[in-house]
Structure 1
Amino acid sequence: MKCPCGCGRTIELLVIQEAKPRWDIEVDADGLPSLIPSVWLTSGCKSHFWLKRGRVIWV
């Protein structure tokens, strides 16, 4: 996914069981995705956000 801050960075999140760190993705009945836990970039733009029901919630 592209970073929602607009910096243009591509964010790759691991969702397979064996990965560490790993994110869980849930899609609700309306097709809106949520990610658990939050996404926190430690370099570049240093964005920190949640994705809940298809919306970015900034920390």
Structure 2
Amino acid sequence: MKCPCGCGRTIELLVIEEAKPRWDLDLDAGGLPSLSPSVWLTSGCKSHFWLKRGKVIWV
């Protein structure tokens, strides 16, 4: 996915059970995605956000 801050960075998140760290991806009845835990970039733009029901919630 592209970073929602607009910096253009591509963010790769691992969602397979064996990966560490990994994220859980859930889709609601309408197909809107949620990620858990939050996404926190430690370099570059340093964005920190949640994705809940298809919306970015900044920390």
What's the TM-score, normalizing by structure 1? Answer: 0.99
* Alpha-carbon distance in structure 1 between the residues aligned to 2:41 and 2:47: 5
Report how many aligned residue pairs link the two structures: 59
Aligned residues with identical type, % of pairs: 88
CA distance in 1 between counterparts of 2:35 and 2:43 reads: 20
1:11 counterpart = 2:11: yes
- 1:16-55 aligned at under 5 Å gives the runs 16-55=16-55
Structure 2: unaligned runs, 5 residues or longer: none
Report how far residue 14 of structure 1 moved: 0.2
Give the TM-score, by structure 2 length: 0.99
Unaligned runs of 5+ in 1: none
- Aligned CA RMSD, in angstroms, stands at 0.2
